[in-house]
Amino acid sequence: MLADRARIEVQAGAGGNGCLSFRREAHVPKGGPDGGDGGRGGDVVLLCDDSLRDLQSFKRKAHYRAERGGHGQGAQRHGADGDDLVVRVPPGTEVSRWDGTRYDLLRPGQRVSIARGGSGGRGNKRFTTSVRQAPRLAERGLPGEEGVVELKLKLLADVGLVGLPNAGKSSLQARMTRAAPKIGAYPFTTLEPVLGTIEAGDRQLIIADIPGLIEGASEGAGLGHEFLAHVERTRLLVHVLEVLPLDGSDPVENHRVIEAELAEHDPRLAALPRVLALSKVDLVPSEDAEAAVTEWQQRLGPDVLVLATSSATGEGIEQLKRELLRLVPLADETHEEAAGENDVAEFQVFRPAAKRSFEVWRDNESGIFYVTGEAVERLVMRHDLENDEALTHIEQRLRRMGVLSALEQRGFQSGDDVEIGGIIFELDPEG
Residues in the chain: 431
Least trusted range by pLDDT, from 241-255, 346-360, 373-387: 346-360
For residues 401 and 352, the answer to whether their CB atoms sit within 8 Å is: no
Mean predicted confidence (pLDDT) in 280-302: 92
**Higher local confidence (pLDDT), 425 or 151:** 151
Report how far residue 15's alpha carbon sits from residue 352's, in angstroms, rounded to the nearest whole number.
Answer: 17
For residues 418 and 407, the answer to whether their CB atoms sit within 8 Å is: yes
DSSP secondary structure, 29-88, as one string:
S---B-PPPPPPPPPEEEEE-TT--SSTHHHH--EEEPPPPPPPBTTTBPPPPPPPEEEE
**Higher local confidence (pLDDT), 245 or 9:** 9
Count the neighbouring beta carbons within 10 Å of the beta carbon of residue 49.
18
Count the neighbouring beta carbons within 10 Å of the beta carbon of residue 313.
11
What's the pTM?
0.66
User: What domains are defined for the chain?
Assistant: 1-153 (2.70.210.12), 159-327 (3.40.50.300), 359-426 (3.30.300.350)
Judged against a pLDDT cut of 90, whether residue 69 lies above it is answered with yes
In 285-339, which ranges are continuous DSSP H helix? 286-300, 317-327
**Higher local confidence (pLDDT), 267 or 135:** 135
**Higher local confidence (pLDDT), 180 or 309:** 309
Amino acid at 296: W
Query: Which of the given ranges, 115-129, 259-273, 384-398, has the highest pLDDT on average?
Result: 115-129
At 31, the pLDDT band (50, 70, 90 cuts) reads confident
- pLDDT tens digits, 182-197: 544 444 444 566 777 7
Q: Which residues of 118-133 are buried (b: 16+ CB within 10 A; e: fewer)?
A: bbbbbbbbbbeeeeee
Helix (H) / strand (E) containing 157: none
Tell me what the pLDDT averaged over the chain comes to: 81
- What is residue 42's predicted lDDT score, i.e. its pLDDT? 95
DSSP annotation of 22 reads: B
Report how far residue 419's alpha carbon sits from residue 262's, in angstroms, rounded to the nearest whole number.
Answer: 54
- pLDDT tens digits, 380-428: 888 888 888 888 888 888 888 888 888 888 888 877 888 888 888 777 6
Cα-trace Rg, the chain = 32
List all residues 6 or more positions away from 117 whose beta carbon is below 8 Å from its beta carbon.
12, 13, 14, 15, 40, 41, 42, 43, 66, 68, 69, 81, 82, 84, 144, 145
**Higher local confidence (pLDDT), 113 or 176:** 113
Report how far residue 120's alpha carbon sits from residue 136's, in angstroms, rounded to the nearest whole number.
Answer: 18
For residues 153 and 92, the answer to whether their CB atoms sit within 8 Å is: yes
- What is residue 5's predicted lDDT score, i.e. its pLDDT? 81
Report how far residue 128's alpha carbon sits from residue 86's, in angstroms, rounded to the nearest whole number.
Answer: 38
- pLDDT tens digits, 325-341: 888 876 544 334 333 43
Helix (H) / strand (E) containing 420: strand 417-420
